[in-house]
Amino acid sequence: MASKTDKRSATYNQLESGTERSRPILHQNAREIQPYGKIAKLPIALDEKVCAASAENLNQVLADTITLRDLYKKHHWQVAGHTFYQLHLLFDKHHNEQDELVDTIAERIQSLGAISLAMAADIAETSIIPRPPRGREEVPAQISRLLEAHEIVLKEARTMARQAAEAGDDGTNDVLVSDVIRTNELQVWFLAEHLVDVPAVRADQAKAASSGG
């Protein structure tokens, strides 16, 4: 008499019969088809050395943009105080805009025939934006931290845009100027205005009188 185990095995075999060609081929391993830091030459009328230099610069901007994006999400979750709702929405809006930049930068790197950074460990090793504390900070400290991160990205983007222009890499220059710089400048404006020390409800009459207003 067949055991229950034998009966189950027979049933499984019957269920699997004829499905060999439709089964996923799992646990596959292979060598890399393109190592990081190497250029796969594409017909884009740019020298490989130019592509490699631009890709290296863009990967730095990419790592810092991903870090800034994630910093916005951290503060989106952790913001507190009477401006919670407004900043909660603003931080998320800026996070989404930075996320679009991440795709734009990464796709430019790939179009140069290079490999874009992607994994968190690689981003953490590459980014020059200081790591924030794990805990919650007060709103002025959160905004100041974001502004400092923006300035880091803008400084490197301006330098790298000039380098790309001098090398004849118009596509990379355009991404850095039209996308990275303009987006970050606009976000800086929206953030910085939150740190202007003005009365919230009643105008300061004493100061207005002393200044002749």
Q: Is the pTM of this model over 0.75?
A: yes
Question: Is 109 a member of any domain?
Answer: yes
For residue 191, the tally of other CB atoms under 10 A from its CB is 20
Question: Is 97 a member of any domain?
Answer: yes
Residue 96 pLDDT > 60: yes
Q: Among 161, 166, 196, which residue's Cα sits nearest to residue 181?
A: 161
Instruction: Supply the CATH number for residue 113's domain.
Output: 1.20.1260.10
pLDDT, one tens digit per residue, over 23-40 is 899 999 999 999 999 999
Range of the domain at 136: 48-196
Question: Is 68 a member of any domain?
Answer: yes
Question: DSSP character for 149?
Answer: H
* Cα 56 from Cα 39, distance rounded (Å): 11
What SS3 state is found at 168? coil
- Domain count for the chain, please give it: 1
Question: Is 81 a member of any domain?
Answer: yes
Tokens 């020059």 identify what position? 128
The tokens for 16 are 């699997």
pLDDT, one tens digit per residue, over 160-174 is 999 999 999 999 999
